[in-house]
Chain A
């Protein structure tokens, strides 16, 4: 192997790569913007939309209940809902978002309550419509306030304290560290996203440097120079690998920054909804995720080059590599599924193993045995794939396929 020749090829490929808009978009822009757009943008948008819906005082229609003045009075006095006059087309009005919900109070409701019966009240709303759901919740709360009042009066009539209903309190306390709480929720997603961006970052340079070179007719030009095919492939491979690494670095950095912004703005809440999710991933986690992505980026680069070198044109290579994206997405998604944990067998499955170990790393768990096994096994697969890529470039039927 001639390191000088490899360096010459690498420098030339780098110059061309930096001048290619297509590859720059896939390698630099997408990883850089994907996380801020996905995380900060969508979360902020959702927060604003939910906040607006929550602030709205929903218009509610009361159906019946003329013989239950106390309940009617309670609902009309509630500042959480705005009661509108009843109409026969109440269902259409809910569908058309003119009102958010309606409540049906059965005849003789108040009298039945007085007789110790338990009559039912029906609430109508539009499932899947955010503001209608909030309207239902506000209405339910207003009715529950009335019910609590009834209970309180009944207890007072029998001279019983309110503690009869709640003889003791139940308190919950979380012992998991904040990074574990946040990692459990987002760890799988981070591994998945970094893996996918490593793949897409390498994809276009891999096509451009193999099938693209054939399509443009430059393959014969370079093969007529004294460089060995091994040096040529290694030089090209290093550029594809660099592109994948750039994608990984940018995506991990962009991810860390996005989560820091989200954590700082307290836009995301934990699963119990009572405190903001701690999204500070920590430098160690970020570096560890990047470290685990290294052999995978190596593997992707070599596999992509091997497959793309079969193709005669850019388009043909794209059609070969699209199914590969699904092959990568499936194990990456599988790792997000609840209950899928890292086992010695799964540690040997490429992509899935890295995705799972990234999930663990984000939660602050470092199983060094698994990490070493995953790193080494992926390195072995990557070396095999690079060997195949070199072999491809030594086959005349591949280089001059007609």
Chain B
């Protein structure tokens, strides 16, 4: 599971000075749950997820993933995490199979386990027709499937998706949505960020609304509807976020 405790990230920019990208964010997500981090561009979603994936180090606070502290044991955390975003590209000169195998080996899998898992995943995702094709020759859908296979190869308990459907066509985005759902069914802990309301409505057990690096509201969709007396998630989002946007303006 995931448990964040006062997660904070401050960047230093020569022109803009100190930027508090994420400020004191605390939430929890249990196994078999999907936690949706909903926010506008620049709200702090990507920075939060990058910290959970231990790609960035928190300035303050921490998080526990499967009982491992992201600051103290980042490598143990990464063994339990599958991270997928539009920024996690594929190596163009490797084939789809080589790409997946590379990440299996980086995760310390022995060759027998690696081959077994690889073949299972390739069958499940219907990837056998392009497994020997170089990644730079794959279609967007094939690339996404390869990325999914890459995140699954070490069978992580926690899946982190940063705007995974951004810029994808409907059919490819659907593959991703189905995959996230499947992760929940398999009992994995899933956190994903988006600014697409319909995705949150379809998938999330718990929603966190983030703006200016602060977690402003959190709860299940039903709880949020009760709290803000709105049915439409977009209206709830605007109501939560508006005061902060006015303050900033």
Contacts and interface: CB of A to CB of B under 8 A. Distances in A.
Contacts of B79: 226
Interface residues of A, number: 24
A20 B78 contact: no
B94 A224 contact: no
B78 A224 contact: yes
Interface of B: 12, 50, 53-57, 75-76, 78-79, 81, 83, 85, 87-94, 98, 102-103, 105-108, 134, 150
20 contacts: A8-B106, A9-B106, A16-B91, A16-B93, A16-B94, A19-B93, A19-B134, A216-B92, A217-B89, A218-B88, A218-B91, A220-B85, A221-B88, A224-B54, A224-B55, A224-B81, A224-B83, A225-B106, A226-B76, A400-B56
Contact of B102 (A8, A220, A400): A8
A220 B87 contact: yes
Contacts of B88: 217-218, 220-221, 224
Contacts of B78: 224-226
Contacts of B83: 224
Given A12-B91, A12-B98, A217-B87, 12 more contacts: A15-B98, A216-B91, A220-B55, A220-B85, A220-B87, A221-B150, A224-B53, A224-B78, A224-B81, A224-B88, A226-B108, A397-B12
A4 B109 CA distance: 11
Interface of A: 4-5, 8-9, 12, 15-16, 19-20, 216-218, 220-228, 396-397, 400
Nearest to A400: B56
A396 B94 contact: no
A218 B57 contact: no
Given A12-B102, A15-B94, A221 B89 contact: yes
A216 B89 contact: yes
Nearest to B53: A224
B90 A218 contact: yes
A217 B102 CA distance: 16
Given A220-B55, A400-B56, A5 B89 contact: no
A3 to B, nearest CB: 13
A60 to B, nearest CB: 65
Nearest to B147: A221
A6 B208 CA distance: 39
Contacts of B93: 15-16, 19-20
A226 B106 contact: yes
Nearest to A218: B89
Q: Which of B50, B57, B103, B150 has the most CB of A within 10 A?
A: B103
Q: Which of A8, A226, A227 has the most CB of B within 10 A?
A: A226
